[in-house]
Amino acid sequence: MHDDARDELQDLLDTPPVPTRRPTVAGMEDELYRVHPLLDHGFLRVVDYMGDDAAIVQAARVSYGKGTKNVRNDRGLIRYLMRHRHSTPFEMCEIKLHVKLPIFIARQWIRHRTANVNEYSARYSILDKEFYIPAVEDIAQQSDSNRQGRDEALSNDQALAVQELLRRDANTSYDTYSHLINDTGDGSPERDGEPQLARELARMNLTLNYYTQWYWKTDLHNLFHFLSLRQHPHAQKEIRVYADVMAKLVEQWCPIAYEAFVDYRTGGTFFSREEVEIIQAMARGEDPDVLLPKSDMSFRERKAFRHQLKLGPPKKNS
């Protein structure tokens, strides 16, 4: 599939450019159809995009043209919109991606129900024999504190054994799949007198580490939400690698909006009403080790609050 994507990119590069009146971004024009290999068989590439930082400003001002010609004013407005969660102007920018990813990551990804998705159909087509095997350093034991995460890496020998088990199961399931679809490659319905099973049934036994593909189109507001969750250190590594590439694309596409997103979302933090009151009291000189035990916050909330403000361990049971 990588070769097909590269051939498609070369065809586009060989095609003479077509004049357009729509706003374009030089970095994104260079990114169109460029393949970013991910994991062992996956990739991500930009198929199309619409809008830029100026489109956000234009929508916010409900005006024609590029809004103001002062970039500083545009930056101030975009930061104001991000700071006060005025999301609609960011929805004026859209991007369409072609993504190849393991099925178990696709099932996480599709939880973001704010995109238009069209996935490769295993009812219609035959899946390739491509499955994901994590690297040795990424094979880890279950975390005790985070039920949906991993902890320390297994030993090298243990990790190699896990790789072998995963590879064996994936190969076995594909052998069964191939037998059930009984594909001759020449369109014949039978081989050795055995009928073909419907592809929609034959696919059932394939393991979740097999690869699927889709076209995924979303707007910038919802893409920011995706990145805020999927770039988080607690997100699964296999989806973070996709999110990291997407973030770099957004930085090229809408650099002012991306800067505001980093400053106010991924680089910022949020506080509850009670936490704000404690911060205000701390600003007046009161001791957090006295304030926190008196609050209605749970132990976990207090721990997270101290971590956010880098207060260090409590002097008391706070």
- Contact 270/68 with Cβ under 8 angstroms? no
Q: How large is the C-alpha radius of gyration of the chain? A: 25
Pairing of the two strands 140-142 and 116-119: unpaired
- Contact 153/170 with Cβ under 8 angstroms? no
Alpha-carbon distance of 228 to 237, in angstroms, equals: 14
Residues assigned a catalytic role: 230
Alpha-carbon distance of 118 to 134, in angstroms, equals: 26
Of 133, 178, 136, give the one whose Cα is nearest residue 160: 136
**How many C-beta neighbours within 10 Å does residue 312 have?**
9
Which residue bears the tokens 């260090």? 312
Alpha-carbon distance of 242 to 180, in angstroms, equals: 33
DSSP 151: E
Which residue bears the tokens 């450019």? 17
Of 210, 205, 199, 128, give the one whose Cα is nearest residue 167: 210
- Contact 181/199 with Cβ under 8 angstroms? yes
- Contact 177/206 with Cβ under 8 angstroms? yes
**How many C-beta neighbours within 10 Å does residue 8 have?**
15
Of 247, 217, 193, give the one whose Cα is nearest residue 118: 217
Q: Is 117 exposed, middle or buried (0-12, 13-18, 19+ CB in 10 A)?
A: middle
Q: Look up residue 219 and give its two tokens.
A: 């707007």
